[in-house]
Structures are given as structure tokens and as C-alpha cells.
Amino acid sequence: MRPEVIVDGVESLGVKLSREFETLARTAIDARRQFVIALPGGSVATTFFPSLARATVEWSGTEFFWIDERAFSPNDPASNYALALRLWLSPARVPMAHVHRMRGEEGDLALAARNAAEELIAVAGDPPRLDVALVGVGEDGHIASLFPGRFDLDDNRHVTPVYDAPKPPPRRLTMTLPVLASAGRVIVAAIGPSKAGPVGVALEQESCATPLAELLRRSSSPLMLLDRDAASLLSK
């Protein structure tokens, strides 16, 4: 499905994202008393989490997961969980019973992946159904910790270990593409000139097979939030 694409300044994109979350949360919680989301780290987190923490959302009905996690302790500033805790979970006073972090610090990543998948299933069903997957974009077109040419994008596991990521740290955990693509709403946020290349080819080259392109192709409701730099290579 061709994604909905919004190009604007970062502040305006943050407002759009917050309103989108509020609408989706209200719909999900009214329907079944639960709103299930999966979060990224990186620039999307640092740019948008502070405003999302101020969104009008019933946090006691929201279940927080992560699209991926690095092999760091939860207290390490480089942990995706630690970033969300500082910028969103603590300021919004999210009940910790609703926070489901991936334990990337475990020595046995395969076991950690299975445990994360079981927790996801317990909350979101089997197969898991996220209401929102919020996703960033790497300069090589990777999403979560799914890097081009290194993964089976039809992997039927829900969470998989990563031992050799091409950017540090090499050890990670990641949700698989089928889980991310099946989310009720896939929101891809890309900020800055370094994202223009992967965004441009994913949106405008039908043969593009990067994880980003595959995610957009497989999602039934993709939304792209781009600043003007990230959108600079798109045809007018």
C-alpha cells in the first residue's frame, strides 16, 4: 500500500504524531481497554518522546514494547529502554506493570528472544497484533535491528536475536518484519539529510528491497513523517 506521507518541520511533525497517538489510543482503549505500542530508540526517541509524554493518553491502558534493543543493561544510557524511561515513561508516570522491555543484556540472546516473544504474545495475542509500531530509519534502509541482506524478512518468529549487526553494538534483539508490518498503524519517522537516500529509494523505486521498503509494502496502514531534509530526494 502506498504510504501516507507528511512533510513538515520537526515541531509540526511532533504535533501530528502526538495527535495520531491520541486518536489511535482512544479508539483502541474504547474498543478493548488496551493500546499496544512498540517503540524505537535513536533520533526518533530523542526528537519525539518528550512531546509524546505530554499526549492525552490513558497510560494505564497502554502496553509498551520495543521494536528492538541493544545488548546493554537497562541502566545504560545507550539502551533504548533507558532512553524511553528518561524521556517518556518517567515524565508521563507510566505504570511499570505496563512496560515490557527486551532484556538485551542477557548472555543467552536466543533465550531472551523467546522470553520477549512469549511476553508479547501474552499481551498482544498470537500472532501478536500491535496497535502502533513507531519505526525509525537507518542510513542503509534498516529498520529496528533488521539490516539489509542479513535477515529472512519472512522469519515466522516474533522476536529474534542479532549477533552480528553491522553497526555497534553487534548483539541485539529485534522484532521481526511480520510483527512490525501487521501493526494496525505503522508510523515511520525520518529526520535529517542522512535519511533522504533510504527514504527516496524506498518510496520511489518499486524494486527496492530494503527492510524499510518491505515494511511499507507489507503494511496495511503506513504513515511516513518526514522533515524537509529527509524528503529532499522525493519527486515533487
Q: Is the pLDDT of residue 74 over 80?
A: yes
Query: Is residue 17 domain-resident?
Result: yes
Query: What is the model's pTM?
Result: 0.96
Question: Which residue in the block uniquely carries the three cell numbers 512531546?
Answer: 51
Q: What is the pLDDT of residue 1?
A: 64
Q: What is the pLDDT of residue 149?
A: 87
Query: Is residue 113 domain-resident?
Result: yes
Q: Is the dihedral of CA 194, 167, 216, 10 positive or negative?
A: negative
Domain boundaries, position 165: 4-226
Average pLDDT, the chain: 95
Query: Is residue 79 domain-resident?
Result: yes
Q: Is the dihedral of CA 45, 51, 52, 58 positive or negative?
A: positive
Counted domains in the chain: 1
CATH number at residue 148: 3.40.50.1360
Q: What is the pLDDT of residue 152?
A: 75
Q: Is the pLDDT of residue 168 over 80?
A: yes
Rounded distance, CA 233 to CA 197, Å? 7
